[in-house]
């Protein structure tokens, strides 16, 4: 029994890692230019404030069709018919919601890791509470399978589901079309990069944890990432001969590739925020983009625990500061 359980665990880890690294695609799109450098103070432990450089905070919202609609349901658990199948998702709406006196709401789509649920991942990030309190709408779709696992591609059933979900929410709720973000963990992060780069006409920002392999973006894409140095699934800094699952190119190399896509400086500024947290910022990006990495010394394959770092507030600030141009 123990041997069988161990084999299942190994197969599960292998499936996760293989999916995370299989879709690594490096898109080249570098040029010189000016942008904003995220060198402002950041939230530390137990802090619930945020202070990113407000690159586009004052940029006007782009109202969706849903701002004129009425009768949108506030039910949390919802379903959507896509491609002949019924898909499930969870809504976390701002309060007050769907009111003509309320500005259009930024939209955050959270993409969970293998074996998780959308609602469970949203709760683990804290975005299920913090984002609605900040006037943002969060939708948490569920992958299919056993374990539940995204197809980390820019096309296919899961990509169609995310597109249909965004279409549905923006048509029935008052959404700011210039601030639609993807937040992904592990294979969800790889899926976010692939889908986001293929849909830059609607996705403004990418936020990833424990997987930051670049997608084939045609123009700059603001990216903020969180990764632990002791991640056993997607290694932060694998050795050249490392055969660990999900070794890939390494976190800092992947983020440097994102910086190249965004036309940023080749070398980041690194600032120690705490004994176990370092921020890497690639400055002077094109089109006011930004590439930021938070490195957690000793951190595992996880979204940063809220008692260690307020990643939810960083995510909210980043989404506000970087509307789609």
pLDDT at residue 81, rounded to an integer = 87
Decide: residue 60, CB within 10 A, 0-12 exposed, 13-18 middle, 19+ buried: exposed
pLDDT at residue 238, rounded to an integer = 80
pLDDT at residue 12, rounded to an integer = 44
Alpha-carbon distance of 209 to 116, in angstroms, equals 14
Specify whether the backbone of 288 is left (phi greater than 0), alpha (psi in -120 to 50) or beta.
left
Structure tokens, 8: 């299942």
3-state secondary structure 165-209: HHHHHHHHCCEEEEEEEEEEECHHHHHHHHHHHHCCCCCCEEEEE
Q: What does CATH list as the number for 76-261+294-321?
A: 3.40.50.1820
Alpha-carbon distance of 33 to 204, in angstroms, equals 19
Alpha-carbon distance of 281 to 258, in angstroms, equals 11
pTM above threshold 0.85: no
pLDDT at residue 28, rounded to an integer = 30
Alpha-carbon distance of 320 to 234, in angstroms, equals 29
pLDDT along the chain (325 residues), means of 10: 46 46 35 33 30 60 85 72 90 69 87 97 97 96 95 93 96 95 97 97 97 94 97 87 65 96 97 95 96 97 94 97 91
Length of the chain: 325
Alpha-carbon distance of 153 to 23, in angstroms, equals 7
3-state secondary structure 30-60: CCCCCCCCCCCCCCCCCCCCCCCCCCCCCCC
pLDDT at residue 69, rounded to an integer = 72
């Amino acid at each position: 029994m123990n041997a069988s359980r161990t084999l299942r665990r190994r197969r599960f880890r292998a499936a996760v890692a293989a999916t995370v690294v299989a879709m690594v695609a490096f898109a080249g799109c570098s040029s010189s230019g000016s942008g904003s450098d995220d060198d402002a103070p950041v939230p530390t432990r137990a802090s619930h404030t945020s202070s990113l450089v407000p690159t586009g905070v004052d940029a006007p919202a782009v109202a969706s069709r849903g701002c004129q609609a009425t009768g949108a349901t506030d039910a949390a658990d919802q379903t959507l018919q896509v491609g002949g199948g019924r898909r499930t998702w969870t809504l976390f709406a701002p309060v007050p919601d769907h009111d003509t006196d309320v500005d259009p709401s930024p939209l955050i789509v959270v993409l969970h890791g293998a074996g998780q649920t959308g609602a469970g991942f949203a709760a683990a990030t804290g975005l299920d509470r913090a984002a609605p309190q900040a006037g943002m709408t969060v939708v948490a779709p569920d992958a299919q399978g056993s374990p539940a696992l995204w197809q980390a591609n820019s096309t296919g059933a899961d990509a169609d589901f995310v597109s249909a979900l965004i279409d549905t929410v923006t048509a029935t709720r008052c959404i700011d079309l210039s601030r639609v973000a993807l937040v992904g963990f592990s294979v969800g992060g790889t899926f976010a990069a692939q889908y986001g780069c293929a849909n830059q006409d609607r996705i403004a920002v990418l936020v990833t944890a424990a997987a930051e392999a670049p997608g084939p973006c045609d123009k700059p894409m603001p990216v903020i990432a969180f990764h632990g140095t002791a991640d056993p699934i997607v290694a932060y800094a694998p050795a050249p001969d490392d055969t660990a699952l999900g070794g890939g190119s390494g976190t800092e190399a992947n983020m440097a590739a994102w910086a190249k896509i965004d036309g940023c400086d080749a070398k980041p500024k690194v600032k120690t925020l705490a004994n176990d947290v370092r921020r890497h910022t690639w400055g002077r990006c094109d089109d006011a983009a930004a590439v930021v990495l938070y490195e957690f010394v000793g951190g595992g394959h996880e979204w940063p625990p809220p008692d260690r770092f307020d990643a939810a507030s960083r995510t909210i600030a980043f989404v506000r500061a970087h509307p789609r141009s």
